[in-house]
Structure 1
Amino acid sequence: MSSASPSMINLLDKTKPPHKIIWFLAWPTIVEQLLSTLIGYVDSAMVGSLGASATAAISVNTSSIWLVNGLMFSVGVGFSVLMARNLGAGNKDTAKIIVKQAIIAVLTIGTAISILMSFIGNELPLWMGAPSLVVDSARLYMKWISVGFVAQMGMFVFAALLRSSGDTRTPLILNIATNVVDIILNFIMIFPSRTITIFGQDIFVYGMDMGVEGASLSTTIVIFAGAIALCVMLFRKRFVAQARFKDSWKLHPKIIRSAFKLALPVALERATLNSGQIVLTRMISGLGEVALASHYLANTAETIAFLPATGFSSAATTLVAHSLGAKEKGLAHRYARSCILFGTTFMLVASVLIFVFAPQLISIFSSVPEVVSLGSTVLRIEALGEPFFGLSMMVFGILRGAGDTKGPFYLALLGMWIVRIPGAWFLITLFGFGLQGVWIAMMADMVVRGAASFIRFKKGAWLHVWDKRQGEVPAALIDYD
């Protein structure tokens, strides 16, 4: 049975209704993602106020950043699911070793990624076909984002470990703090010194006038602070799988191998999705600056629809992993069904709101009429597919918690490279749909992926993935196929 700190609840308590435990885990993640989205809105609005070229400079790098973030996210999934599985089975000592291996992985792999991307970032805007006017700004943006990748990996992995232990509130609290700092730093670094009027009083505000570069530098500073704070949380006594400096920190190849077996399909899934985004960005770059800026801002606005699904998907991963670790398949299925119901319902409501208020959302980030018009049009197209996307996110969370990380990869491959990319190419090239064609193809991908995900869930094979390799690993470490 899972251990719990005083601020937590027993995740395997059958006397409690599933919705109470699910909501206990989900709401902090939803609020955390909401705050992150609002900060993303503020960041985009600040940069957007500099003009369409500044927005395009960030947009041309975004899909590549998503690709790298997806690879780092996969490492967090691998270690956190493995830890949650062992906590559910009562193997706390093994869970503690897993946490230390995760910290080592962040420091080594994250540093290597930062170094590699520092070299690649200078050429990336050219590879992506960026308009000549935005190349220099895009390079400056990637310079600081690349430095922060090691910290970004820490944010992904350490937060995943905390959430999978049942502690979703600590990442929320730290997210609030870092977001406040991010707004302040953006306000100082992006704009020049100026005088603003508040309640009739003129106040001088110092500014560094760094523009797009200031946005990336402030983000990197905040990410480093957040990663360090999250890492400290892993050393607290109240953390059920507490890491301690005085314990052994030697490498455990069996644990690392098991974590990366889980992570590899997730990495391939993310690479499949984000490499597809890179191809799409390359297509959109040829459509001009307005299309590129509209695409970026519509993507930014659309993230609000993900919030409920992200929270419930994270809860599903944690609860399924704990339940199957305790050999409670019925409880795992019960949690899975409830997460699908809650997550998809909330996503439906969000998609309706996005469809209705699309022009207002885009107007937050840009005052350019062409960008607002095109951005709101494509945002409404994708809103039609959001409930299906929410369904796929729920099932992906369930499958990961069950150790079936290959399933989401296959489904992502189907949606992105069989539906979205060919569909976008045909609609742009043969029918002249422009950016609207890209987003129609994206909507079709969401529908297909959601339907295919639900079919995989209903077959129920995910409940038995962990059984295939039981008993092979010493010290109670659970491996999988």
Structure 2
Amino acid sequence: MSTKSKKQKMTLVALTWPIFIEILLYMLMGNADTLMLSQYSDESVAAVGVSNQVLSLIIVMFGFVATGTAILVTQNLGAKQEHAAAEISIVSLGANLVFGILLSIGIFLFSKPILLMMDLPPELLDEANSYLLIVGGFSFVQAFIMTIGAVIRSYGFTKDVMYITIGMNIINVIGNYLFIFGPFGFPVLGVEGVAISTTVSRFIGLAIAIIVMIKRIPVELPFHLLFRFPKVHVRNLLKIGIPSAGEQLSYNTSQMVITFFIATLGTEALTSKVYAQNLMMFIFLFSIAISQGTQILIGYLIGAKKYEDAYHRCLKSLRLAIIISLSAAILFSFFAKDLMKLFTSNEDIIALGSTLILLTIILEPGRSFNLVIINSLRATGDVKFPVYMGILSMWGVAVTLSYLLGITFGLGLVGIWIAFIADEWLRGLLMLWRWRSKVWVRHSFVEEKAV
């Protein structure tokens, strides 16, 4: 049997565990950079952390096409419209490649002004700029990888994307080791070396991902549409992608503003935030994996017009995500100090970071609501409500309370974490209300067929 004719088992577990491993490895790639750089310099860690805050915003810009792709492909596959799904896949690749190149050029030209706008401490500017120039200048590669990954996962081949990520991680860690520690006569390049190894690993991952996509999609891919952009597909991609990106864009820009607040507290506070969030990512990755697997399933169910099944699938996934993330947060809190010691010997940073991880026990269940239900709403095509509520809560609650509690009232990072908790829970409960209302039933895109 050829690889093009294989059908994947579409269950939450079958879809989610490879997504979990994939996201875990992406996080390990970032943590490998942080952990290995921490043996080089705490200042370098802070510099890369701020640069990655900027790059995360760029990733959101790429994500609006990838998000639209995943939703439209799964809905069309659920409706048995395989040729339309293949057309959407190729159009999405062309759109994100063009968009990615434009954003990469922008980062290359304006990296230093962007960092200066964040009020970065002067001692971090050169290293942060070096990292942003290299990784950001080639960020179009990540745009292409994200879109191809969304396509492959939408067809149910989540393990393939996982294997590609494993290979990228191995290459990245080897490159970090060579350029940070300088064995075999390699030059010690520090932050610059980490940026080079990250970029090289992405280029290699992209080449493999293209081959896998061609083999896995069961119909002939219409590559002639790569830069032609049929109106019906572009219109639907924008209808889903722009609001979805708006919610993520609001979150990331609000986080950049909050990072600016933290930067005014000094390098030590900034470094504590980077270390604590690196550890917290391992807690909420369970919810991320469950939410992405759920999105694929609900997309198929919506395409097949099985609305009640979709409704109950989301709620079951939500319960699972809350239980797992809460358990993980409690476990991490018991070992918080030991985990912080993996990154630094600074006792003040260890104490502060441990307190932030303890607060994560309250924060993570609220985040689970947002991750699972927002991805479920997107899968149905109901994408505007999360944006409106996200902007209201992120800026009205997270940013405002961060400044009041963290800066005005002098609670520092603890006050800022309390603001995060309030934001996640408010948005989460609003998303649950929206899902229970079932107004999302009328938002499916499968009625619009390619012309």
For Structure 1 versus Structure 2, the TM-score category normalised by the shorter chain is over 0.9
What CA deviation, in whole Å up to 9, does each residue of 1:276-333 have, x standing for no partner? Answer: 0110111111100100111111111110012211111111111111111111112212
The aligned residue for residue 355 of structure 1 is 333
Indicate which of 37, 43, 58 corresponds to 1:47: 37
Per the alignment, residue 201 of structure 1 pairs with: none
* Structure 1 residue 248 displacement after superposition: 8.1
Question: What residue ranges of structure 1 are gaps of 5+ in the alignment?
Answer: 12-20, 194-204
The code of the aligned residue for 2:236 comes to: S
Whether 1:327 aligns to 2:305 is yes
Change (3 A) 1:100 1:432: same
CA–CA separation in structure 2 for the residues paired with 1:27 and 1:234? 20
How far, CA to CA, are the matches of 2:226 and 2:135 in structure 1?
A: 33
Whichever residue aligns with residue 81 of structure 1, its letter is I
Alignment-mate amino acid for residue 199 of structure 2:
T
- 8 Å CA contact retained: 1:159, 1:230: yes
Would you say 1:98 and 2:76 are equivalent positions? no
Alpha carbons 2:86, 2:217 under 8 Å: kept: no
Rounded Cα–Cα distance in structure 2 between residues aligned with 1:173 and 1:470:
31
Distance in 2, matches of 1:80 and 1:433, equals: 41
| SS of alignment partner, residue 382 of structure 2 | coil
Matched, 1:425 2:425: no
Cα distance, 1:367 vs structure 2: 2.2
Work out the CA distance in 2 between the residues paired with 1:308 and 1:4.
30
The match for 1:465 is: 443
Structure 1 residue 85, shift from structure 2 partner = 0.9
Partner of 1:196: none
Equivalent position to 1:415, from 385, 393, 396: 393
Q: Which amino acid aligns with 1:176?
A: I
Q: Equivalents in 2 of 1:354, 1:329: separation in Å?
A: 37
TM-score scaled by structure 2?
A: 0.95
**Matched residues in 1 for 2:439 and 2:126: separation?**
51
Is residue 2:289 matched to residue 1:311? yes
Partner of 1:6: 6
Q: Which residue of 1 aligns with 2:259?
A: 281
List alignment gaps of at least 5 residues for structure 2: none
8 Å CA contact 1:84, 1:164 repeated in 2: yes
Of 286-295 and 65-74, deviating more is 65-74
Opposite residue 46 of structure 1, the aligned amino acid is M
C-alpha separation between the residues in 1 aligned to 2:225 and 2:410?
A: 63
Which aligned pairs between 1:73-472 and structure 2 lie closer than 5 A?
Answer: 73-193=63-183, 205-236=184-215, 238-240=216-218, 242-243=220-221, 245=223, 250-466=228-444, 471=447
Q: CA RMSD in A?
A: 2.0
* TM-score normalised over the length of structure 1: 0.89
In 1, the alpha carbon distance for the partners of 2:51 and 2:357 equals 20
Q: Cα deviations across residues 367-420 of structure 1 (Å, max 9, x unaligned)?
A: 222222222222222332101111211101111110111122123223311111
> How many angstroms does 1:148 deviate by?
2.2
| Residue 53 of structure 2 corresponds to residue 63 of structure 1 | yes
Contact 1:190 1:213 in 2 (8 A): no
Q: Is the 8 A contact 1:188 1:207 kept in 2?
A: yes
Aligned residues: 449
Q: Letter of the aligned partner of 1:209 in structure 2?
A: V
Q: Conserved in 2, the CA contact under 8 Å of 1:95 and 1:241?
A: no
Distance in 2 (CA, whole Å) between partners of 1:246 and 1:431 is 59
**1:214 aligned partner, one-letter code:** G
Which 4+ residue blocks in structure 1 deviate beyond 3 angstroms? 244-250
**Residues in 1 aligned to 2:225 and 2:443: alpha-carbon distance in whole angstroms:** 32
- Counterpart code for 1:320: I
Q: Percent identity?
A: 27
Instruction: State the alpha-carbon separation in 2 of the partners of residues 424 and 231 from structure 1.
Output: 43
Secondary structure, in 3 states, of the residue corresponding to 2:257? helix
Letter in 1 for 2:412: G
Partners of 1:337 and 1:433 lie apart in 2 by 36
